[in-house]
Structure 1
Amino acid sequence: MALGGAGSAGPGSGRGPEVRPAWIDGPISVLLVEDDDADAFLVSELLADADVEADLRAELHRARSVDEALGVLSMVAVDCLLLDLGLPDAEGLGALRRVIDGIDVLPVQPAVVVLTGNTSHDLGAAAVANGADDYLVKGEVDGDALARCLRYATLRRRSAAQQIALYRSEVRAAETTRLERALLPKELVTDEKVSVMVGYLPGGNGLLGGDFFDTVERPDGTLVTVIGDVAGHGPDEAALGAAMRTAWRTLVLADTPADNVLPLLERVLLAERGRPEVFVTICQAVISPDRSRMDVYLAGHLPPLLVVPRTSTDSAAQVTHHCEELPSVRRGRALGIPVDGGWSAHTVELPEVWTAVLYTDGLVEAAVGADPKGTPVLAPSAHGRMPRLGAHGLRSVVEREMDQGTDEVVTRVLRRVRELHGGPLVDDAALLFVGWAGAGATGPPERTSTLADSVEWSRA
């Protein structure tokens, strides 16, 4: 049967010198969406001929409607889709639009070649204009031409995917270069017994978001640290987060009283935000010069964790850690929320040796069910939804990683949360460890920063 021929711009048109496509290693997976059994049989025969004549091996799957095809695509990785434009549940360009909408959500999108009986090529050209990679006219092609059409369509789609991936990589690199200094600032801390370790893990698309953090030591030895989260995700939020961090550092360096920092920072937010619904949550901690007391200011943000080492009494003298969530008393509203209320400090007495952990909600909102080995971590809810890691889960992760030492502990915590989540986190995650090793400490403090690209980590 001569089932189809490529359109005038396609590789199967036979016009102009033949250009051999780049070789495709291995078989390609083809999904035929065709309700006519006779036509489906003839397509399989043409593909069998293509294996011999054009050296194209194809694994053929079949669906009889658009709904069935979308179901197959959700379970099977398909390189190319052959779509008949006359189906029981959709006809013409309507069928194509439903398929295009369906494949847009797939991580790897197949090429789409439409089958049309319109010998004037008008419908085929319209299909290409509406998102198809090529078209075939029933009755005008043999096995070799079909093979060339499928091969070219698949290669074009793969090339387009590579171009998109390259573009996203370039955008990500540009955003990282522009915002890395603002989001991962060099701490202004001179105390040789204070450690500062920070990490930033962008959400699913790998672009930086609006989380920010900073740590500054004032001339009198007071240590001031902050972590914040701009509502939303994207370059605008990232730029606003960078502006908020810069404004915060400026206020602290100007010796602004701690009680006045958040009100003044809100004034900056109201002037800089692009939309009135944008708000910012903040946790600010002010640590006394003798490191024995911490004043915690919460503006709609999660309270910090406090990690304290514990030494066992056995001969091995093994050091373990206890991590607890500080109370969220006196938590005020988020910056930018138009309701009454300000912010006041909750004072926490600190032990001789301690580590304060400030974080954004991207970590505790990670959905977890089982670790990479399949071991259950938390049981699903009654509705079958995976539970969130929560502050209690993050405490367990921090304790586990701190027990292994402080070397790259921020990176290890971020990796562990991501592993429990099973892939890139949905939201950005920022993590800030500020520690005091005690008045008698002699070792150098930990000063590290991590900007973790979730796309790169997804390959790990």
Structure 2
Amino acid sequence: MPVPVPRQRAIPAVESGQAQDVPAVGHPSEEEAGRREEQACRNETTVANDAVPSGALHDARGGAHPHTQGGAHRNTHDGALNVPPVDGVHHGVNTAGVSTAGVSAPVVAVTGVTAPGTGATGAGAAHTPLTLLLIEDDPTAAPIFRDLPDSDGRPIRVRTARNLTEAERLLTDDVHCILLDIALPVPGRTSAAAGDDELAVLRHVLRLAPRHAVLALTASGDAERGAEAVRVGAQDYLFKDELDGRLLSRAIRYAVERKRSDTAERRLAEGKLRAQENARLERGLLPTPLLEGSPLRFAARYRPGRSRALLGGDFYDTVRTPDGTVHAMIGDVCGHGPDEAALGVELRIAWRALTLAGLCGDQLLNTLQQVLEHERDDDEIFATLCTVDIAPDGRRAGLCLAGHPAPLIARPDRPARLLPYDNNGPALGLLPGARWPRTQVELGAEWSLMLYTDGLIEGRIGEGRERLGQDGMVQMIRRQLAEGLSGEALLRAAVSEVRELNGGELTDDVAVVLLDRVP
């Protein structure tokens, strides 16, 4: 089943052409090392070479320590190499709340301070000091930034930019904090064009560097403007002529930590909101059946696939109409994500409304196809569907298939088998004007009818390429029925065994519905 491409990570400045290319890990090339030396002389205010050990200075300029290979940090406890991945994140890390153990970035902050967009701390973090980008057009402000220490007493690296054009070139992923003079002009905009927006330059920088901590520099006594800068998005504000090294060092470290904390809190809130939205959509996909007055027993099982962060489009429903007929349905919208799930909810609600209005078989499916064609965002989106209408006496049923696997029926007097699927029509949304013939089937006096989505039969068997398939699923259900399983226990055992055969979580979602008639 087609799956949408996962959301891409934010493109750092170095990749978007806004800054020079800086290798994420490992030793820089000779040409790159030369450029860094030249750039450091022009744009960075650091302590003199005789004040910093040669190894620390080499680390501060993006290179690897001479005691490591390829930029990897050696863990002195177990001797294992901790090599940061190219994307800067060790996958499989728990990011709930503010727990960020195991995350690394191309340049990591000292103990207690983290790089933009990450929460890395620990042994590997102590090799590189903080990096500050100063955006200030007054050259007399630079001396105050000399010898700024971080929390471990190491010198803070300072890059200076006279305007936003230079800042864009110097803004790489190893910058932890931006110190911005909010009186600077925005490139390409005059004062008249900026209007009354005194914080236009701050808004520009926040758009340019959404993952970086920002400190606003303002004139002394202009506390109101500084407070407004914080409301706009800066982590704090400082008065230009009241700066001293100790105050500035603390402000930088606190701003970086505050940004990290705000980012973690925002991600947690976004995750909770996304979970709530998925739960609402899931309730729409998997409703409570309307079977009041029916002797049939109902059971259902749903299990999200491996990509459970992307809600699937499996849906089902069961209703009893006033004449005593029980209508059951199960379907699957191709793809994963909120759009597919929302479309599945629409189709399920439309099916229930049309069924209660008296539509059935080909007429119902034709109307559902019209709903799909009008609501889908892409002409290639389609949905498979299986509908069953069981007569009031429970002995006969009408079956319609729209590109969906045939249901399974089990009776005491014969082994479990698939219902006829010779008249299987196309999936909804594929062929305009398609028809879906209704097949009459005999159920008998006692039976179990199982409807399912293709996630149940598309799992692999072991490490090979062979899939379970419908035949394998039928054999599995026969064995489980022979063991005395029924109802919810049968569905739970079936889904669990399919997962075990697959060697782990299934790629696709699985939805299964079971209707039992016991005299």
TM-score range, shorter chain: 0.5 to 0.7
1:430 is matched with 511
Q: 2:467 pairs with 388, 392, 414, which one?
A: 388
Aligned CA-pair RMSD: 4.8
Structure 1 residues 345-378: Cα deviation after superposition (integer angstroms, max 9, x where no partner): 2232223321111111122222341xxxxxxxxx
CA distance in 1, matches of 2:72, 2:452: 57
CA distance in 1, matches of 2:370, 2:93: 53
Gaps of 5+ in 2: 1-45, 47-61, 95-100, 109-115, 133-156, 161-168, 176-207, 214-252
Displacement of 1:235 in angstroms is 1.4
1:210 is matched with 313
The residue type paired with residue 410 of structure 1 is L
Structure 1 residues 162-215: Cα deviation after superposition (integer angstroms, max 9, x where no partner): 8646643442233213541552233234222x1111222223224532211111
2:68 is matched with 40
The aligned runs of 1:336-347 (5 Å cut-off) are: 336-339=429-432, 341-347=434-440
Q: Is the 8 A contact 2:93 2:102 kept in 1?
A: no
The aligned runs of 1:323-334 (5 Å cut-off) are: 323-334=416-427
2:455 is matched with 362
CA distance in 2, matches of 1:44, 1:276: 48
The 3-state SS of whatever aligns with 2:451 is strand
Q: Is the 8 A contact 1:282 1:300 kept in 2?
A: yes
CA distance in 1, matches of 2:73, 2:477: 60
1:286 is matched with 389
Q: 1:352 pairs with 442, 445, 454, which one?
A: 445
Assess, with a 3 A threshold, how the Cα gap between structure 1 residues 328 and 73 changes in structure 2: closer, same or farther: same
CA distance in 2, matches of 1:351, 1:282: 24
Displacement of 1:333 in angstroms is 0.9
Displacement of 1:399 in angstroms is 3.4
Per the normalisation by structure 2, the TM-score is 0.53
Structure 1 residues 297-317: Cα deviation after superposition (integer angstroms, max 9, x where no partner): 11111111112236xxxxxxx
Q: 2:347 pairs with 229, 244, 252, which one?
A: 244
Q: Is the 8 A contact 1:79 1:154 kept in 2?
A: no
1:171 maps to 2:299: no
CA distance in 2, matches of 1:196, 1:331: 25
CA distance in 1, matches of 2:74, 2:158: 23
CA distance in 1, matches of 2:441, 2:506: 31
The aligned runs of 1:137-152 (5 Å cut-off) are: none
CA distance in 2, matches of 1:207, 1:292: 40
The 3-state SS of whatever aligns with 1:348 is strand
1:418 maps to 2:499: yes
The residue type paired with residue 205 of structure 1 is R
The 3-state SS of whatever aligns with 1:262 is helix
The count of corresponding residues between Structure 1 and Structure 2 is 340
1:228 is matched with 331
Assess, with a 3 A threshold, how the Cα gap between structure 1 residues 153 and 427 changes in structure 2: closer, same or farther: farther
Assess, with a 3 A threshold, how the Cα gap between structure 1 residues 45 and 213 changes in structure 2: closer, same or farther: closer
CA distance in 1, matches of 2:262, 2:303: 29
CA distance in 1, matches of 2:337, 2:348: 17
Gaps of 5+ in 1: 1-12, 14-33, 49-56, 86-99, 135-148, 311-320, 370-378, 382-386, 442-460
The 3-state SS of whatever aligns with 2:437 is coil
1:79 is matched with 102
Structure 1 residues 210-249: Cα deviation after superposition (integer angstroms, max 9, x where no partner): 2111112233332221111112211121221111111111
Identity of aligned residues (%): 30
Assess, with a 3 A threshold, how the Cα gap between structure 1 residues 82 and 366 changes in structure 2: closer, same or farther: same
Displacement of 1:294 in angstroms is 2.3
Displacement of 1:115 in angstroms is 5.2
Assess, with a 3 A threshold, how the Cα gap between structure 1 residues 416 and 244 changes in structure 2: closer, same or farther: same
Per the normalisation by structure 1, the TM-score is 0.59
CA distance in 1, matches of 2:328, 2:467: 27
The residue type paired with residue 347 of structure 1 is Q
Displacement of 1:421 in angstroms is 3.0
The 3-state SS of whatever aligns with 1:210 is strand
CA distance in 1, matches of 2:379, 2:329: 23
Q: Is the 8 A contact 1:297 1:343 kept in 2?
A: yes
Displacement of 1:79 in angstroms is 2.5
